[in-house]
Amino acid sequence: MTTLNPSEATSLALNTLTSQISNILLMPDGPAKAAIGSFESLLTANLTMISEAANAHIDEFNGLIDQLEARDGELLTQAALVSELRQQVAEAEQRIVAARQEGAIGLEAKAEELYKAQRALNDVQTKYSALQYSARQLERQLADLNAMDPAGMKRRIKEKNELLEGQRTAIAKHKSNEAAYRAEVLKLERRISELLGVINDQDRELERRHTVIMELESARAAKLVWHKHLANTYQGEDGTLWNVYLVDHGLKSNLPYLINDLNWKLHAMKSDGSGCSVMLSQWMNPIYPTPYGAGAPDDMTQDIFAFMQEALEQSHPHLQPRTEWAKTVSIHECGLPPRTIKPLEEAGIDTLYKVMSHQGNKLDKVKGIGEKLVGQIVYACELKVKLWEEQFVASKQEEQHQEAA
């Protein structure tokens, strides 16, 4: 049963009553009086129809108001979550700064101790080398005295031996001190490594939280653009109502001509509960999976296109200018042979944009072009696109350099 809006119901009632009055005026007196008697019931029925149409329209309006209030509540909840995460990140940054300051003070103290230990170690090594040299000198002198073997030299030889023994004892003591210094140096190095590990862990946690905030900011920005363009209900040619929803988690596909790096996606749903996710092309046009998107309203498709232009302006700034450029490039400029260009033009595919945007559905249906030739056509056009992208990146870098200057 089709529900009339108040305007349609009023128009229908007016036409019905006007027609009845015209008929009564044309009747003789007897039938006219009888018709006038039944006119009151006809008038009542039409007034009832107008009232029911007005009530149905009011109920539908109230339902839309409830949906809007629910969407506002969701948006406020997301904003509160983002604020909470920002506060957590700020607290984490404060803790990291404090930890770095503490670690820096500890590192300076340990570095000073390490420097002192290193100097002591160097002194020990210097003394050790000097003692070794003295010991060798004494050994040579002792050898010379033994070779001379005079009777009066025995006492001095004994003294030299005692001195040599004392030096050997000192050498052993310095070796022990050197081992202790080395152990202290290793201990300090391990402590420094532990502090650096803690700082690195905190940096990674901060990066993870920052990533979460960026994803929420991206989803919130897309939600605002959705409210601007797609918070509507659309009617198809068969009377079916359509809605487009923005949901979390982007589409993942192995098709290179689709946008596969978003953290949100669009889902089109009919009033009967059926629907499909809307795939977004790298060439700035929505794609409905067959047959689930059949009968999608044209005005809904236009609103999705407007949503894509604004939502992707920040995350994929090159797509829109690339699309506009590709619409101006003839397929004659893409390095294709004439025998390949002819069937494309006969099928209405005469620009680089049409080749790239139709590669997923229409290109392989062109008469005279097989699957292998489709791959060659797309490859040649991709080379043309890659050259434009390199020039686009270079121009953006030049603009950034000029702004910096």
Are 247 and 381 members of one domain? no
Q: Which strands make up the sheet holding 275-280, listed edge to edge?
A: 233-235, 241-248, 264-270, 275-280, 286-287
pLDDT tens track for 326-372: 999 999 999 999 999 999 999 899 999 999 988 766 787 888 888 88
Are 41 and 137 members of one domain? yes
* SS3 assignment for 6-62: HHHHHHHHHHHHHHHHHHHHHCCHHHHHHHHHHHHHHHHHHHHHHHHHHHHHHHHHH
Are 73 and 216 members of one domain? yes
Query: Rounded distance, CA 20 to CA 261, Å?
Result: 65
Lowest mean pLDDT among 10-19, 232-241, 260-269: 10-19
Query: Rounded distance, CA 51 to CA 315, Å?
Result: 50
Q: How confident is the model at residue 322 (pLDDT cuts 50, 70, 90)?
A: very high
Helix (H/G/I), strand (E/B), else coil: 400: helix
> According to the model, what pLDDT value does residue 151 have?
61
> According to the model, what pLDDT value does residue 211 have?
67
Range with top average pLDDT, 61-65, 120-124, 184-188, 254-258: 254-258
Are 221 and 237 members of one domain? no
pLDDT at 218 over 80: no
pLDDT tens track for 24-36: 777 777 777 777 7
pLDDT at 205 over 70: yes
Q: What is the number of other CB atoms lying within 10 angstroms of the CB of residue 266? A: 23
What is the extent of the structural domain holding 77? Answer: 1-229
Are 255 and 174 members of one domain? no
pLDDT tens track for 280-309: 999 998 999 888 888 899 999 999 999 999
> According to the model, what pLDDT value does residue 233 have?
95
pLDDT at 1 over 60: no
Q: Are 244 and 303 in contact (CB under 8 A)?
A: yes
Q: What is the number of other CB atoms lying within 10 angstroms of the CB of residue 296? A: 23
Q: Decide which of 168 and 318 is more confident.
A: 318
Q: Kindly state the average pLDDT of the residues 138-163.
A: 69
Are 82 and 208 members of one domain? yes
pLDDT at 142 over 90: no
Question: Of 268, 298, 316, which residue constitutes the final position of a domain?
Answer: 316
Number of domains in the chain: 3
Are 103 and 149 members of one domain? yes
Q: Kindly state the average pLDDT of the residues 16-42.
A: 74
Query: Rounded distance, CA 177 to CA 175, Å?
Result: 5
Helix (H/G/I), strand (E/B), else coil: 337: coil
Are 122 and 169 members of one domain? yes
Share of residues in the chain with pLDDT > 90 (%) = 26
> According to the model, what pLDDT value does residue 305 have?
92
**Is the C-alpha dihedral spanning 89, 91, 95, 97 positive or negative?**
positive
pLDDT at 323 over 90: yes
Q: What is the number of other CB atoms lying within 10 angstroms of the CB of residue 337? A: 9
Tell me which DSSP letter residue 236 carries: -
pLDDT at 45 over 90: no
pLDDT at 244 over 90: yes
Are 235 and 304 members of one domain? yes
Q: Decide which of 41 and 304 is more confident.
A: 304
Q: Are 182 and 189 in contact (CB under 8 A)?
A: no
Query: Rounded distance, CA 98 to CA 129, Å?
Result: 46
> According to the model, what pLDDT value does residue 153 have?
65
Helix 29-148 vs helix 6-26: angle between axes, to the nearest 10 degrees? 170
Lowest mean pLDDT among 105-109, 267-271, 387-391: 105-109
Q: How confident is the model at residue 136 (pLDDT cuts 50, 70, 90)?
A: confident
> According to the model, what pLDDT value does residue 168 have?
77
Are 67 and 207 members of one domain? yes
Question: Of 180, 202, 229, which residue constitutes the final position of a domain?
Answer: 229
Residue type, 124: V
**Is the C-alpha dihedral spanning 364, 368, 370, 375 positive or negative?**
negative
The CATH number given to whatever domain includes residue 344 is: 1.10.150
Share of residues in the chain with pLDDT > 70 (%) = 91
Task: Assess whether the previous peptide bond of 289 is cis (omega < 30° from 0).
Answer: no
Q: Decide which of 261 and 156 is more confident.
A: 261
Residue 367's φ and ψ, nearest 5 degrees, are -65, 130
Query: Rounded distance, CA 292 to CA 276, Å?
Result: 6
Q: For 249-326, list the strands marked E by DSSP.
A: 264-270, 275-280, 286-287
Are 92 and 181 members of one domain? yes
Question: Of 206, 229, 252, which residue constitutes the final position of a domain?
Answer: 229
320: closest CA among 298, 305, 332, 330?
305
pLDDT tens track for 57-114: 777 767 777 777 777 777 778 778 778 878 887 887 888 788 778 867 877 777 787 7
Query: Rounded distance, CA 136 to CA 140, Å?
Result: 6
Q: Decide which of 264 and 111 is more confident.
A: 264
Residues 6+ apart with CB under 8 A from 174: 124, 127, 128, 131
pLDDT tens track for 110-124: 778 778 777 877 776
> According to the model, what pLDDT value does residue 148 have?
62
Query: Rounded distance, CA 358 to CA 257, Å?
Result: 10
Average pLDDT over the chain reads: 82
Lowest mean pLDDT among 69-73, 96-100, 181-185, 270-274: 69-73
Which token pair is 103?
């670690």
363: closest CA among 352, 268, 269?
352
> According to the model, what pLDDT value does residue 277 have?
92
Are 157 and 297 members of one domain? no
